[in-house]
Amino acid sequence: MDMNKNENKKEGFGSKIGFIFAAAGSAVGLGNIWRFPYLAAKYGGGIFLLVYIILAITFGFSLMISEIAIGRKTGKSVIGAYKEADKRFSFLGPIAAIVPFIITPYYCVIGGWVLKYLAVFATGFGKNVADDGEFFTGFIGEWSQPTLFFAVFAFLTALVVILGVQKGIEMISKILMPVLLVLIVGIAVYTLTIPGALNGLKYYLLPNFSGFTFSAFLKTLIAAMGQLFYSMSLAMGIMVTYGSYMRKEDSLEGSVRQIEIFDTSVAILAGMIIVPSVFAFSNGDPAALNKGPSLMFITLPNVFKTMKGGQIVGGFFFFLVALAALTSAISLLETIVSIVCEKTKMNRFLGTTICFVFVLVVGLTSVFGYSIWDKVTIFGYQFLDFYDFISNNVIMPVVSLLTCVLIGYFVKTKYIEDEVLVGEEKFRAKGLYKVMILAICPICMLIILISNFFLNL
Ligand code: PFF
């Protein structure tokens, strides 16, 4: 039939470990290091952790295996994949595809902020960053520097994508992911030696059920589910795309388990760095942890300022965050490049260049939204927050809900089960998978949607 359509398909990961590192590289990102710790801190430490882990091995596992299996089975980018699975669901691919187009630009903007912090610490000026937020707001409130760092970050991302799946993404992931793991374990061990940190660790790891109400539980559950999408790069075509590059002979179920373990461990370790050190720094005041998104950019530099060797630890920390953000941005950009190349039959170089320019232009709206356009809002949100809200709170739950309906009630779970069995003899979690896809996942998704959208919980 159409020979050209195999242009993309020819490319693929060369090894199982290459696939696992690349997919884990996608999953492990700002979500793990910047978002997970502040959510865990906000929603009661240990309880959030417990809920998150249970969700990861049930809900996250089922959604991730579905997406990778659809990708591998069809060998297509997200638009073609859903269409091939069932013509009636052709509309789902384009909806999922919108997400990386929205997220990639603003993700690179935040990646730029991280690069700026890395540059400040690496040049020995980390102490200048430690204040009540003036440095951070001053930096993002002025457009030129954020634009510069954003452009550098987006350029590095594009460079890897241009090199291709094996020579770019796989190679860089195989180098960066082990480095990232060593760094995060090293920094976590070091920060736990700070006096007072162990009490923070207790707050973080041990669930405290006293005074925990049903409504608090529901909020924790919803926050944990939202975080799971974000962290595991679900419902936005990334895992479908990476699945399409996965070798048939490799174990799907085993790979998904390893990706999940990697992703969840990094999130927990990031929390182990941030929560106990902030706890110790604030003399055990949990309110210090309730700083939301500014925890990493404002509170943490203050901790580094007082910590012994904090300037060096801070430098390593922001280097680690930059690596995590880079491998995730690569997967986001790769997803849009794969769509553009598949649709237009353009080569990778041209496709990536066009997508890079797109990222720069749209990303600028996020940069300007905090500076020269700070009076402009969309439905009350600043640009970056609007992009984040619309993708994470609206489109992603819809995509996941419809993916469950497609698999559970149209193509049937056997469609996925057969693909899982291509690379291994047994689908060990088949029973769990069916229950999740047919009932629990769709119900959870409806709860998320209703709460996010209508109740604005
Ligand atoms: N999973 C990655 C992270 O946790 O940062 C990348 C990512 C993808 C983040 C998509 C957010 C998102 F909506």
Instruction: Please tell me whether residue 99 adopts helix, strand or coil conformation.
Output: helix
Report how far ligand 1's centroid is from the alpha carbon of 233 (Å). Answer: 5
- The set of protein residues with a Cβ atom below 6 angstroms from ligand 1 is 27, 29-32, 103, 230-231, 233, 236, 328, 332, 391-392
Element of type H or E holding 274: helix 252-281
Reported as a pLDDT band with limits 50, 70 and 90, residue 3 is very low
Q: For residue 427, which amino acid is it? A: F
Considering only CA atoms, which residue is closest to atom 11 of ligand 1? 230
Contact 292, 38 (CB under 8 A): yes
Q: Of 197-201, 271-275, 286-290, 379-383, where does mean pLDDT reach its minimum?
A: 286-290
Report how far ligand 1's centroid is from the alpha carbon of 31 (Å). Answer: 6
Residue 188: predicted pLDDT: 95
Atom of ligand 1 nearest to the CA of 328: 6
- Whether residue 457 is predicted with pLDDT greater than 70 in this model: the reply is no
Percent of the chain predicted with pLDDT > 90? 76
Its pTM surpasses 0.85? yes
Considering only CA atoms, which residue is closest to atom 9 of ligand 1? 230
- Average pLDDT over the chain reads 92
- Whether residue 8 is predicted with pLDDT greater than 60 in this model: the reply is no
Residue 114: predicted pLDDT: 97
Reported as a pLDDT band with limits 50, 70 and 90, residue 2 is very low
Atom of ligand 1 nearest to the CA of 325: 5
Contact 39, 211 (CB under 8 A): no
Report how far ligand 1's centroid is from the alpha carbon of 309 (Å). Answer: 31
Length of the chain: 457
Judge residue 326's burial from the number of C-beta atoms within 10 Å of its C-beta, 0-12 exposed, 13-18 middle, 19 or more buried. Answer: buried
Residue range 283-292: average pLDDT? 79
Reported as a pLDDT band with limits 50, 70 and 90, residue 44 is confident
Residue 1: predicted pLDDT: 38
- Tens digit of pLDDT for each residue in 325-375? 999 999 999 999 999 999 999 999 999 999 999 999 999 999 999 999 989
Residue range 161-176: average pLDDT? 97
Query: 229 in the Ramachandran plot: left (φ > 0), alpha (ψ -120 to 50) or beta?
Result: alpha
Residue 449: predicted pLDDT: 87
Atom of ligand 1 nearest to the CA of 32: 4
Reported as a pLDDT band with limits 50, 70 and 90, residue 379 is confident
Residue 455: predicted pLDDT: 62
Reported as a pLDDT band with limits 50, 70 and 90, residue 181 is very high
Report how far ligand 1's centroid is from the alpha carbon of 213 (Å). Answer: 30
Mutate to test the pocket of ligand 1, among 35, 107, 173 (most ligand atoms within 8 A of CB): 107
Mutate to test the pocket of ligand 1, among 34, 99, 231 (most ligand atoms within 8 A of CB): 231
Report how far ligand 1's centroid is from the alpha carbon of 125 (Å). Answer: 29
Token pair, residue 180, equals 């990232």
Considering only CA atoms, which residue is closest to atom 13 of ligand 1? 230
Residue 454: predicted pLDDT: 67
Residue 399: predicted pLDDT: 95
Atom of ligand 1 nearest to the CA of 34: 5
- Whether residue 384 is predicted with pLDDT greater than 80 in this model: the reply is yes
- Whether residue 211 is predicted with pLDDT greater than 90 in this model: the reply is no
End-to-end CA distance of the chain: 50
304: phi then psi, degrees, rounded to nearest 5 = -60, -30
Report how far ligand 1's centroid is from the alpha carbon of 407 (Å). Answer: 24
Mutate to test the pocket of ligand 1, among 36, 99, 103, 330 (most ligand atoms within 8 A of CB): 103
Token pair, residue 170, equals 């796989």
Residue range 399-410: average pLDDT? 97
- Whether residue 222 is predicted with pLDDT greater than 90 in this model: the reply is no
In this structure, what DSSP letter does residue 378 have?
B
Mutate to test the pocket of ligand 1, among 28, 180, 332 (most ligand atoms within 8 A of CB): 332
- Whether residue 20 is predicted with pLDDT greater than 50 in this model: the reply is yes
Atom of ligand 1 nearest to the CA of 391: 13
Domains of the chain, start order: 3-456 (1.20.1740)
Report how far ligand 1's centroid is from the alpha carbon of 247 (Å). Answer: 24
CA atoms in the 13 A half-sphere facing the CB of 160: 24
Reported as a pLDDT band with limits 50, 70 and 90, residue 284 is confident
- Whether residue 218 is predicted with pLDDT greater than 70 in this model: the reply is yes
Report how far ligand 1's centroid is from the alpha carbon of 392 (Å). Answer: 10
Report how far ligand 1's centroid is from the alpha carbon of 108 (Å). Answer: 11
Reported as a pLDDT band with limits 50, 70 and 90, residue 143 is very high
More confident residue, 169 or 281: 169
- Whether residue 318 is predicted with pLDDT greater than 80 in this model: the reply is yes
Reported as a pLDDT band with limits 50, 70 and 90, residue 119 is very high
Mutate to test the pocket of ligand 1, among 28, 30, 39 (most ligand atoms within 8 A of CB): 30
- Whether residue 7 is predicted with pLDDT greater than 70 in this model: the reply is no
- Whether residue 224 is predicted with pLDDT greater than 70 in this model: the reply is yes
- Whether residue 151 is predicted with pLDDT greater than 70 in this model: the reply is yes
Q: Of 5-9, 214-218, 386-390, where does mean pLDDT reach its minimum?
A: 5-9
